[in-house]
Amino acid sequence: MTLIAYGLNHLTAPVALREQVAIADDQLTDALHELRAQPGIEEALILSTCNRTELYCSVAAGAEDTPADWLHERHCLAPGRLDDFLQRWREQDAVRHLFRVSAGLESMVLGEPQILGQIKDAYQHAHQAQTLNITLERLLQHTFAVAKRVRTDTRIGAQPVSVAYTAVRLAERLFTDIAHAQVLLIGAGETIELAARHLTERKVARLVVANRTLGNALTVVQRTGGLAVPLSDLPTQLAAADIVISSTASHAPIIDRGMVRQALVKRRHRPMFMVDLAVPRDIAPAVAELRDVFLYSIDDLHQVMDEGKRARQAAAQEAQTLIELQVERFQAWRQALAAHNPVQTLRHAAEMQRDEVLARAQAMIAHGKSPDEALAFLANTLTNKLLHTPSVKLREAAAQGDAELLRAAARLYGCPASDES
């Protein structure tokens, strides 16, 4: 079997094309069964996110292009439509790529941790669909271990790199246990939704999204959880909030010094952490003058992000060194498996012979031979090929007086064995 991976991602394909080939969670099981059923496909895993769609397969000889062909057919694309966008990896290159993806080295945001969870979800789908066998099962377990090592042994995830993630990380520094915090998010754009996702992952006590258009706030909380409120509820919600993150398109501040001062009185001056991600600013600069308020602007966060980018780029080099070592170890395991598993070796040889004879039979039909003639050729030729090597070995065993091998062969085929050599 050969390990093959095909994929396109945010670096190779525009979003319009990525949308065409994306496979939703509720379609994954059917897609896995379809892919696994293709001729020559022995194992299959599908990883489909907003930034990438990738197929990982163990394939028989001659089926190396089958995953790409299937991807075209499933999405009703003309043959070759994806050729300029698809990347292909084989054997150790496929292993290396999956390790890099799991560590966040191939992500739009270097080192982001969400991709590992998405790979684990893809593994669960494939496991439940029963499209994994020994090679991909072992590869996925090895992948999880590699990603953990990269996180543990390097600083790839130590510094935040997006404004939403940076805001949440700064909040974690201020609050001993962010899970007890009440959070108010103002706005409903991509940055606010991303912040909501990060906060939901940390299981904050309460999450409220306020927006001028209530429907947009509802859309965010439907995806991430929490409570949606209109912007008119801001004074009430502000008093309850330990953490406030704002990112709207307002042309003037929507939170002024007096509003925050009143909220602090109601809070009995419990500290408030406020992050203004908007340009122009949503929170009046004078708010920073109030005691018990920790206010950060977008410029403050960019300084932290620049430090994080430099740290992650250095960590990425360390991660790559670790990954190369793990690629070698996985390949060594595969080589040892092939060397010490005669059943797998026998099966692989039989499958190669099957594919060769099948291709010849199909060619006969294509050149005008009748199906009956082609089937007879297939049955006779395949039988002769499969029995040739065992027959030769048994004749040699008989000539050399190897009674043990002859008895084993007799038991294998259910024949009575003679005690005579």
Measured distance CA(199)–CA(193) in Å, rounded: 10
Residue 82 CA to residue 21 CA, distance in Å, equals 10
Cβ-contact 290, 260 below 8 angstroms: yes
Q: Cβ distance 229 to 168 under 8 Å? A: no
* Distance from C-alpha of 250 to C-alpha of 236, rounded to nearest angstrom: 20
376: Cβ contacts below 8 Å, ≥ 6 apart: none
CB 53 within 8 A of CB 18: yes
Asked about 50 being catalytic, the answer comes back as: yes
Which three-class secondary structure state does DSSP give residue 16? helix
| Size of the chain in residues | 421
Q: Coil, helix or strand for 227?
A: strand
- Which residue is associated with the tokens 């991660």? 319
Cα dihedral across residues 109, 110, 114, 116: positive or negative: positive
Helix, strand, coil percentages for the chain (3-state, nearest 5):
60, 15, 30
CA distances in angstroms from 80 to 10, 71, 86, 341, 397, listed in the order given: 19, 10, 10, 38, 52
Q: List CB contacts of 295: < 8 A, sequence separation 6 or more.
A: 274, 275, 276, 283, 287, 288
Which residues does 138 contact at the CB level (< 8 Å), separation at least 6? 330, 333
Question: Cβ(171)–Cβ(93) under 8 Å?
Answer: no
Distance of alpha carbon 61 from alpha carbon 45, whole angstroms: 19
- The amino acid present at 6, given as its one-letter code, is Y
How buried is residue 387: exposed, middle or buried, by Cβ count under 10 Å (0-12/13-18/19+)?
Answer: exposed
The dihedral over CA atoms of 11, 12, 18, 21, expressed in degrees to the nearest 10, equals: -140
Strand-pair partners of 182: 206
User: Where in the sequence numbering do the catalytic residues fall?
Assistant: 50
